[in-house]
A and B are shown apart, each in its own frame.
Chain A
Amino acid sequence: MRLDDTPARGRAAMRPSGTASRDTLGSALLLMAPALALYAVFTLLPVALTFWLSFSQSAGFNTGAQFTGLDNYRKAAADPIVWQSLRHTFLWLAYHVVLAGGLGLALALAIARLGRSGVFFRTAFFLPHLVSLAVVGVIWANIYDPFFGLLNTALTGLGLGAYTQGWLSEPVLVLFSVNVASSWQGFGLYMLLFIAGLQNIDPALYDAAEVDGANGFQKLIHVTLPGLSEVMTFVVSLAMINGLKGFATVFVMTNGGPFYQSELITTYIYRLAFQAQNHGQAAVLCILLSLLAIAITIVFNRWRARLAR
Chain B
Amino acid sequence: MNRRNREWPIALALAPVLVLVLAPFAWLMVSSLKTEAEIGQGAPFQWPADLMWRNYADAWRIGGFGELIGNSLMNLAGVVALTLATCAPAGYALAKMRFPGREWLFYIFIFGLTIPIQAIIIPLYQVLFGLRLIDTLTGIVLAQVSNGIPFGIFLMRSFFISVPDELVEAGKIDGASHVQILTRIFLPISLPAVQALIVISALSTWNDFFLPLVVLISPDIQTLPLGLVRFAGTYASEYRLVFSGTVISFLPIILLYILTQRRFTEGLTQGAIKG
Interface residues of A (CB under 8 A from B): 1, 3-4, 6, 8-13, 17, 20-25, 27-29, 31-32, 34-36, 38-39, 41-50, 53, 61-62, 107, 110-111, 113-115, 117, 121-128, 130-135, 137-143, 147-148, 150, 152-154, 156-157, 184, 189, 192-193, 196, 238, 241, 244-245, 247-248, 251-252, 265-266, 269-270, 273-274, 279, 282-283, 286-287, 289-290, 293-294, 297
Contacts and interface: CB of A to CB of B under 8 A. Distances in A.
21 contacts: A1-B185, A4-B174, A6-B184, A8-B175, A9-B180, A10-B180, A22-B98, A27-B97, A28-B102, A31-B92, A32-B90, A130-B250, A131-B253, A134-B226, A135-B228, A142-B246, A153-B43, A192-B268, A247-B118, A248-B210, A286-B121
What are the 10 closest A-B residue pairs judged by CB atoms, nearest first? A8-B175, A10-B177, A49-B123, A42-B146, A132-B207, A46-B120, A134-B209, A134-B225, A35-B90, A46-B123
B206 A107 contact: no
Interface string B209-239: 1100110000000001110110010000001
Contacts of A269: 118-119, 121
Given A12-B178, A117-B7, A287-B119, A297 B114 contact: yes
A283 B206 contact: no
A139 B177 contact: no
Contacts of B92: 31
Contacts of B153: 35
Interface string B248-275: 0110011001100100010011001100
B7 A39 contact: no
A193 B122 CA distance: 34
A80 to B, nearest CB: 21
Contact of A38 (B126, B142, B249): B142
B242 A192 contact: no
Contacts of B60: none
Nearest to B175: A8
Contacts of A42: 124, 127-128, 142-143, 145-147
A144 B146 CA distance: 36
Interface residues of B, number: 113
Question: Secondary structure at chain B's binding surface: helix, strand, loop or mixed?
Answer: helix
A47 to B, nearest CB: 6
A48 B115 CA distance: 12
Nearest to B3: A115
A23 B119 contact: no
Given A127-B254, A193-B269, A252-B229, A17 B173 contact: yes
A34 B125 contact: no
Contacts of A293: 114-116, 119
Nearest to A111: B14
A153 B42 contact: yes
Contact of A3 (B101, B145, B176, B232): B176
B188 A1 contact: yes
Given A35-B149, A110-B13, A156 B109 contact: no
B210 A28 contact: no
A145 to B, nearest CB: 8
B272 A47 contact: no
B77 interface: no
B32 to A, nearest CB: 10
Contact of B98 (A9, A23, A41): A23
B148 to A, nearest CB: 10
B196 interface: no
A110 B17 CA distance: 12
B161 to A, nearest CB: 15
A192 B185 contact: no
Contact of B44 (A1, A28, A115, A157): A157
Contacts of A148: 39-40, 42, 239
Nearest to A34: B86
Interface in B19-70: 21-25, 27-28, 39-40, 42-45
B164 interface: no
B52 to A, nearest CB: 16
